[in-house]
Structure 1
Amino acid sequence: MRLIQSLIMLSGLLLLGHSPFTAAQTFTSKDAGFRLETVADGLEHPWSLAFLPDGSMLVTERAGRLRVIQNGKLLPRAVEGLPTSAVSGQGGLLDIVLHPDFEENRTLFLSYAHRSSEGMTTRAARAIYEEGRLKNVEVIFEALPRSRGSRHFGGRMVFDESGYLYISVGDRGEMDRAQDTRDDAGGVHRITVNGEPAPGNPGLDDPGINNTLFTWGNRNIQGMTVHPETGEIWTHEHGPRGGDEINIVQAGTNYGWPEITYGIDYSGLPITLHTKKEGMAQPLHYWDPSIAPSGMAFYTGLEFPEWQGNLFVGALKLRKLVRLEIENEEVINEEDLLTSLKERIRDVRTAPDGTLWLLTDSPQGKVYRVAPAQ
């Protein structure tokens, strides 16, 4: 049954791949030529993308809508039944991920900013997707305490190979919170699909650490993906003025913010005099000046054999797609792509058909498909 469903999904995506996309442009990288096809436009700050078994896609809009792309076209009607998100500053509807057994249970997960009388925070909800609407919506995670700020919500999510859900929460613009392990801000949380702390979380054996917290000392993670060979969770996070980082998530690890950083404050003044401290992890890679990374995916398809195992990262501030060649957990080559496009790249995904998909962060945001030039 799974084989038949997988073939149906692949055929749907292949059909989508031959749809009459508009505004195709051709580009070259060091290793491959590719074309950029516009699949959809007119989306209000699209944030995340998920591929469904029938070949269609779900796209979140930060403005609070979930949209469907079917047969290469954006459907005019948004999905119904979404939880209410607080659209303010960097907040709104954020990430979407499918349950590992989505084909059987139709379950998906959304992250979003939420407001109450006590302030704003990052939430995650579980829901059933059927016939263009969400049913049985249930909040399974809420970062506490809330605060009044409207930035650094994090919100990226991913499932590991054991079926546990990882959720990033930013420092909410209050940097010292990232070093407080009794505060949910500034870290990565690891939970079951029902919202319980996952087995092995460091806080289960330490009353000084919140029981869903998996890492801390993280400023604002907006990229998260699974390494296709090791199964490790890789993340990237925004630095301030410089100091964007790529890290590999390890239980109970302090990634240092704001005690150590390779960036400085937006004012030009130092945040700290330290880039290293005992007991705090060094990044696998960092950018200075900042590129404002968002979205992250390892390339695992067959359409670009030259890119196998490469890591792709979108950039908001510097408006480009970054291709990183990795060897033994070290970046050995970095290439900037799509710089002439001058688009803020919000999300990057590898599709089941072996193409790359991108979202652009704009009031008239686009969905792009990256396919071989020939």
Structure 2
Amino acid sequence: MRHTIHATVLCLALVSSLSACEARQDPIEAARPRPAPTTATVQQLASDGGTLSVTRIAQGLEHPWAVALLPDGGFLVTERPGRMRRVGADGAIDVPLEGVPLVWAHGQGGLMDVVLAPDFAVSNRIWFSYSEPGPDGTAGTTVATATLGETALDDVHVVYRQPKVEGPNHFGSRIAFDNEGHVFISQGERNDRPTAQRLDKLQGKLVRLNLDGSVPADNPFVGRPDARPEIWSYGHRNSQSLAFDPRTGNLWEAEHGPRGGDEINLPLPGRNYGWPITTHGINYSGLDIPEAVGETAPGIVAPHHVWEVSPALSGMAFYTGHGGSAWKDSVLLGALSGGVLIRLELDGDRIAGEERLLGEMGKRIRDVRVGADGAVYVLTDEIDGELLKLIPPRR
């Protein structure tokens, strides 16, 4: 009885961290293809400015983590246990693609982000992040590129490796491209708080690289013997949201706080974003963060926006350029513990309002992407995860 109580307490303590206490699908069953739904499941939900239409495109995905929108109308979806799959525009799910590297799928680790390369139309290349196993049970966030085939990934090439450490938590990770030939990679501090402030460590840093994996000559710490040249900004806890605002070209990043204090930052080169010296949160135990001096401190950039109660932020996408939509000029964020899609109304960079959507469904929202036609695509992080299509209300 004592062991049962201990395991239950441990699972409850880690539930917001996607612990290994989660149920898993049978591996053989999980790898099977799934046919397209015979009928569309459509819901009409209330939203500011009108009615939101929600259609379930596919289901049966095991803890899907990211979705990339393919030019043919289909999708590329990662599942955290280590599978990458094509999903047709009709919702049919193919067998997992071959060629995916070995993934350390424990705790919060697994196969994470996937995005199309900027030149995908000619190269058919994709980028993806995953927790890569190392010796003696260690792991680290890794980013690779590959050529996307019909049934397999070819020419897989690792462009970035975070040094391997022990522990099952805080891998991040999202990938975003600017329009100047650079890739930005977010990651976590692997639940080792002090490393987020150490410039000789890559944990807890936002990284900027050239598209061939080399370090840009104008990165802020290039030439400093005490710092890693890949670093763009530091003092990050566990960043699972990263996107460029197409209106301004500004990079937005969001990260999990501890118990309270999820935040949005607009990361600038060489700046310190505080963790764990400054935070709006406390430990899950209810005690203060030992290194924290308060919510602000000299030399540290305050968050652009902060949630005192953590919604557990995940995927991020900007909704711009769709003038007839009630969601025009918004940023969308998935929320795991909140079980909602958060829409932040923007006035320039200023956050002018917040709306919480999909709460009626009771699903953890892991990723969100916006199509060229203004449709919004959302992944639910469940053992029987879904891919949803949202049509926002019109003005």
TM over 0.5: yes
SS in 2 for 1:177: helix
Q: How does 1:35-54 map to 2 (within 5 A)?
A: 35-54=53-72
| Distance in 2 of aligned mates of 1:67 and 1:199 | 36
Contact 1:21 1:38 survives alignment (8 Å):
no
Residue 226 of structure 2 is aligned to residue 213 of structure 1:
no
Pick one of 86, 93, 96 that aligns with 2:104.
86
Task: Give the total of aligned pairs.
Answer: 355
Residue 244 (structure 1) aligned to one of 244, 262, 268: 262
Q: Please list the CA deviations of residues 147-205 of structure 1 after superposition, one character each: whole Å capped at 9, or x if unmatched.
A: 11011001111111112111112010111110001000001101112211123211213
SS at match of 2:283: coil
Looking at structure 2, the residues matched to 217 and 373 of structure 1 have their Cα atoms a distance apart, in angstroms, of 38
Of 151, 159, 163, which residue of structure 2 is paired with 1:132? 151
Q: Deviations over 1:17-56 (max 9, x none)?
A: xx97622110121123211100011101100111112221
Check if 1:168 corresponds to 2:186: yes
1:283-322 alignment, distance < 5 Å: 283-300=303-320, 302=322, 305-322=325-342
The DSSP-based 3-state class of the residue aligned with 1:307 is: coil
Q: 2:345 aligns with which of 302, 321, 325?
A: 325
2:162 is aligned with 1:143: yes
Report whether the alignment pairs 1:62 with 2:80. yes
AA aligned to 1:165 is V
Matched position secondary structure for 2:196 = helix
Normalising by structure 2, we get a TM-score of 0.87
Distance 2:123 2:201 in 1: 33
Distance, in Å, in 2 between the alignment partners of 1:21 and 1:206 is 59
Partners of 1:215 and 1:226 lie apart in 2 by: 16
1:88-237 matches, within 5 Å, as 88-117=106-135, 119-144=138-163, 146-237=164-255
Matched-pair contact (CA < 8 Å) for 1:51–1:57? yes
Residues 21 and 39, structure 1, Cα contact 8 Å, conserved in 2 = no
Residue of structure 1 in register with 2:370 after alignment: 350
C-alpha distance in structure 1 between counterparts of 2:392 and 2:341, whole Å: 16
Task: Tell me the CA shift for residue 207 of structure 1.
Answer: 2.2
SS in 1 for 2:388: strand
Alpha carbons of 1:83 and 1:131: their partners in 2 closer, same or farther (altered >3 Å)?
same
2:358 aligned residue (317, 327, 338): 338
Question: In structure 2, the residue corresponding to 1:48 is in which secondary structure?
Answer: strand
Shifted more, 19-28 versus 44-53: the winner is 19-28
Preserved CA contact (<8 Å) 1:143 1:185: yes
**Contact 1:298-1:312 at 8 Å conserved across structures:** yes
Matched position secondary structure for 2:326: helix
Structure 2 residue runs of 5 or longer lacking an equivalent are 1-36
Give the share of equivalent positions with the same residue, in percent: 39
Residues 354, 247 of structure 1: CA spacing in aligned structure 2 closer, same or farther, 3 A cutoff? same
1:242-281 matched pairs, under 5 angstroms: 242-271=260-289, 272-281=292-301
> What are the superposed Cα offsets for residues 244-302 of structure 1, whole Å, 9 maximum, x if unpaired?
00011211111000000011111111112411111111111110111101111111253
Task: Give the Cα–Cα distance (whole angstroms) in 2 for the partners of residues 24 and 330 of structure 1.
Answer: 34
Structure 1: 4+ residue segments shifted above 6 A: none
Using the alignment, how far apart are the partners of 1:97 and 1:250 within structure 2?
A: 23
Matched, 1:367 2:381: no
Alignment of structure 1 residues 10-21 onto 2, 5 Å: none
- Residues 75 and 89, structure 2, Cα contact 8 Å, conserved in 1: no
Q: 1:24 corresponds to which residue?
A: 42
Residues 273 and 204 of structure 1, relative CA distance in 2, 3 Å threshold: closer
The DSSP-based 3-state class of the residue aligned with 2:285 is: coil
SS at match of 1:171: coil
Match of 1:13 in 2: none
8 Å contact kept, 1:304–1:372: no
TM-score of the pair, normalised by structure 1: 0.92
Which whole-Å CA distance do the structure 2 matches of 1:149 and 1:303 have between them?
46
- Counterparts of 2:158 and 2:245, CA distance in 1: 28
| Shift of residue 304, structure 1, vs aligned partner | 5.4
Q: Could you tell me whether the CA contact under 8 Å between 1:216 and 1:255 is conserved in 2?
A: yes
- Matched residue type, 2:65: W
Cα distance in 2 between the residues matched to 1:299 and 1:177: 34
Deviation at 1:372, TM superposition (A): 4.4
Distance in 2 separating the partners of 1:368 and 1:247:
28
Return the offset for 1:131. Answer: 2.2
CA contact (8 A) 1:262 1:288 kept: yes
